[in-house]
Amino acid sequence: MNITPFGRRWAARCLALLCLAALQAQAAPALREDLAWHGDNRARLNEMLAQHGRGSPGYRASAPPVAVFDFDNTTIKNDVGDALVFWMLANNKVLQPAARDWKGVSPLLTDAAAAAIKAACDGQGDPGQPLRTDDGSAASRACADELVAVYDTDKTVAGQPAWTRGADDFINPAYGLAVQLLAGYTPDDVRVMAGAAIDQNLAAPVGAKQRVGNRSVNGYVRRYEQIDDLMRNLRLAGFDVWIVSASPQQPVEVFGGYFGVPPQRVVGVRSVLDSTGRLTARFQGAGRFAEGNAELITYRDGKRWWINKVVFGERDPARQMLRTPEVTDRLVFVAGDSDTDLSMLKDAKVKLVLNRNKAELMCNAFHNDGGSGQWLVNPMFIEPRPRKETPYACGKWNLPDQADKVH
């Protein structure tokens, strides 16, 4: 058979491309061997990197595969939103609201909770000025106690319900309050405060507690090295890596930088700004919720809506609410730790779950909802939860009860 010069050049080019593809496949990023993963999770994650990353069949640099990480207790140990709220209370940084109206801060507060905060905090600062929540006096500690109780226990100090409704598919009112307490500050102000809170919590030993008011609350955070390594390898493999969190936007931006995630790849709870560039107590809109609402954060279905809006650039509010094939085709990986991450986890091809004994999530994960091999369950990397001795009761989600297999 005679081969023309063009044919020889074409064959040589094809051979070169095949060799390049082979080299790329051989050079697929891999997770560090010295960092502990449960069972075969490391191998399965490495397989995902090779199967979907740069050099794999179907990879498109113009529309790369997407990886999304929840932040609190998934990317880090503990909660950066908590860390900032507690730091602000310990450092007299929460501002007295206009007209001392706590319902204006969160309309989801019960009348009893708004009245309890007002009674405890009225004398601790003028509207627009920092509340005295830790000046050494009993009165300042009482103000802090009331805010911590409502935020951290969903009840007043006296035990009355704090919220007019519980968490739903779009908001946990206490998570929303963590953002609403930032009202009156600029985004840069919040980033500075967040940096101080993060530094303090990173410096504290694992397991540390701190006093806020008269209450003992969590006092430390840690980076998960395994997640840092996974994010780095995803980027090397050509994935578009995002953080989507129900904590305020600015502290997640700051802490996300520790993992090499730039601010433009962070979606936290986003506040509407006023005409002077300061945060208000209202949230940006997505889906059926307009700008300036008090009902929608990046929580449960709200995470899906914000992923559609920001990560995939969907401008149509109606389509932001959907599980679209276009999104699920590119959303290769999601990591989460809570029932509140379930919507975005279900949208992904590969789902990493850190086991915090959250019933709805673990029922789905252990049942392997969505197909064999899609759910990877791992204990928390620091202070993992003990094994749940009784099966998860899963009937309310139309699933069979599930034993705790990974702890």
The DSSP result for 114-156, as a single string, is HHHHHHHHGGG--TTSB--SSSSSHHHHHHHHHHHHHHHHSB-
pLDDT at 286: 98
Same domain, 257 and 234: yes
DSSP single-letter state for residue 166: -
pLDDT at 407: 82
Same domain, 190 and 314: no
pLDDT, tens digit, 9 for 90 and up, residues 212-249: 999 999 999 999 999 999 999 999 999 999 999 999 99
291 is a domain residue? no
pLDDT at 20: 43
404 is a domain residue? no
pLDDT at 372: 62
Same domain, 207 and 254: no
Same domain, 32 and 152: no
Last residue of some domain: 174, 194, 218?
Answer: 218
379 is a domain residue? yes
Same domain, 19 and 147: no
Same domain, 214 and 162: yes
pLDDT at 22: 45
CA nearest neighbour of 250 among 387, 115, 363, 88: 88
| Share in percent of the chain as helix, strand, coil (round to 5) | 45, 15, 40
Return d(Cα 375, Cα 253) in angstroms, integer: 28
pLDDT at 23: 42
316 is a domain residue? yes
pLDDT at 326: 80
- The CA-based angle 270-275-276, given to 5 degrees, is 90
Same domain, 62 and 149: no
Same domain, 359 and 231: yes
Mean pLDDT of the chain: 93
4 is a domain residue? no
282 is a domain residue? no
Return d(Cα 178, Cα 299) in angstroms, integer: 13
Tally of domains in the chain: 2
Last residue of some domain: 203, 218, 233?
Answer: 218
Q: Which residue range forms the structural domain that includes residue 267?
A: 11-75+224-274+296-397
- The CA-based angle 297-321-323, given to 5 degrees, is 120
Same domain, 327 and 238: yes
pLDDT, tens digit, 9 for 90 and up, residues 95-113: 999 999 999 999 999 999 9
155 is a domain residue? yes
CATH of the domain at 231: 3.40.50.1000
Instruction: Split the chain (407 residues) into runs of 10 and give each run's mean pLDDT.
Output: 47 46 62 97 97 95 97 98 98 97 98 98 97 97 98 98 94 98 98 98 98 98 98 98 98 98 98 98 98 98 97 96 88 98 96 97 90 87 95 96 92
pLDDT at 325: 85
378 is a domain residue? yes
Same domain, 21 and 164: no
CA nearest neighbour of 347 among 68, 73, 72, 56: 68
